[in-house]
Amino acid sequence: GAGVSQSPRYKVAKRGQDVALRCDPISGHVSLFWYQQALGQGPEFLTYFQNEAQLDKSGLPSDRFFAERPEGSVSTLKIQRTQQEDSAVYLCASRGPGANVLTFGAGSRLTVL
Amino acid sequence: AQSVTQPDIHITVSEGASLELRCNYSYGATPYLFWYVQSPGQGLQLLLKYFSGDTLVQGIKGFEAEFKRSQSSFNLRKPSVHWSDAAEYFCAVVLMEYGNKLVFGAGTILRVKS
């Protein structure tokens, strides 16, 4: 597609629920990144894929967070047993081969009640 | 620890006035440097970037930034601010030895008064 597409744009979950956030990167972009942006803060790195391989997951805050990209295109970020501190905007970005610039999606705003 | 610092949380300028947003980084090597802008409810839009070469780079919307190696700074400037520039601005760096991750500063919120 023309840009990075994320869904849902808004998600409200009760504490303890599982959520899944989807990212559809720009066609042909091999690198995909997930970031978490808490209110009033800059985005924080969560994880990075090169095609289907998850090369870096050092930013995932706990084992409740899981990301996958099974066919090297669409990615899903899953959060199990959501907690209030998981409330944030989750940003996805992609990057083409040999490029150094990330293109970001509009984000998925998660609110955990 | 390696970091990106934006010392100003909020800045207010009058429409038509000049603007400078500060950014400092604490890495040994020269990273790739970026400025992004985020309007409410929007994703991050790239304003400009510096990889190498001319240390004064031009971006979109009339913005420019200057890389100063001696000061480890990459300040963003605009000679005349428009009301539509009100947004949050993020400085970011990439270091290849850190897995190509983009590391962001905490952001500066720009308010424009008429």
Give me the DSSP letters along chain B: ---EE---SEEEEETTS-EEE--EE--SSPPEEEEEEE-TT--EEEEEEE-SS-SEEE-GGG-EEEEEGGGTEEEEEESS--GGG-EEEEEEEE-GGGTT-EEE---EEEEEE-
Give me the mean pLDDT over the A5-24 stretch: 97
Please report the pLDDT score of residue A101 as a whole number.
87
> In chain B, which residue's Cα lies nearest the Cα of A5?
B43
pLDDT in tens, A78-106: 999 999 999 999 999 999 887 788 999 99
Judged against a pLDDT cut of 60, whether residue A1 lies above it is answered with: no
Q: Which range scores top for mean pLDDT: B13-17, B25-29, B69-73?
A: B13-17
Please report the pLDDT score of residue A11 as a whole number.
97
Q: State the average pLDDT for chain B.
A: 91
Q: Are A107 and A91 in contact (CB under 8 A)?
A: yes
A33 vs B contacts (CB less than 8 Å): 101-102
Nearest to A42 among B34, B45, B90 (CB): B90
Judged against a pLDDT cut of 70, whether residue B24 lies above it is answered with: yes
> In chain A, which residue's Cα lies nearest the Cα of B38?
A106
pLDDT in tens, B31-55: 899 999 999 878 899 999 999 889 9
* A:B CB pairs within 8 Å: 48
Please report the pLDDT score of residue A31 as a whole number.
92
How far is it, in rounded angstroms, from Cα B6 to Cα A38? Answer: 17
How far is it, in rounded angstroms, from Cα B42 to Cα B34? Answer: 18
Q: State the average pLDDT for chain A.
A: 94
Inter-chain residue contact A104 with B44, CB threshold 8 Å: yes
Judged against a pLDDT cut of 70, whether residue A29 lies above it is answered with: yes
Inter-chain residue contact B90 with A44, CB threshold 8 Å: no
Name the residue with higher pLDDT: B78 or B94.
B78
Q: Are B100 and A31 in contact (CB under 8 A)?
A: yes
Closest approach of A108 to chain B, Cα-based (Å): 10
Please report the pLDDT score of residue A24 as a whole number.
97
B94 vs A contacts (CB less than 8 Å): 100
A31 vs B contacts (CB less than 8 Å): 100
Please report the pLDDT score of residue B97 as a whole number.
63
Nearest to A41 among B100, B101, B106 (CB): B106
> pLDDT grade, residue B29 (50/70/90)?
confident
Give me the mean pLDDT over the A13-37 stretch: 96
How far is it, in rounded angstroms, from Cα A34 to Cα B23? Answer: 23
Characterize the bridge pairing of strands B87-94 and A31-37: unpaired
B101 vs A contacts (CB less than 8 Å): 33, 45, 48, 56
Give, for A112, the enclosing helix (H) or strand (E): strand A108-112
Please report the pLDDT score of residue B99 as a whole number.
64
How far is it, in rounded angstroms, from Cα B96 to Cα B100? Answer: 5
Please report the pLDDT score of residue B26 as a whole number.
86
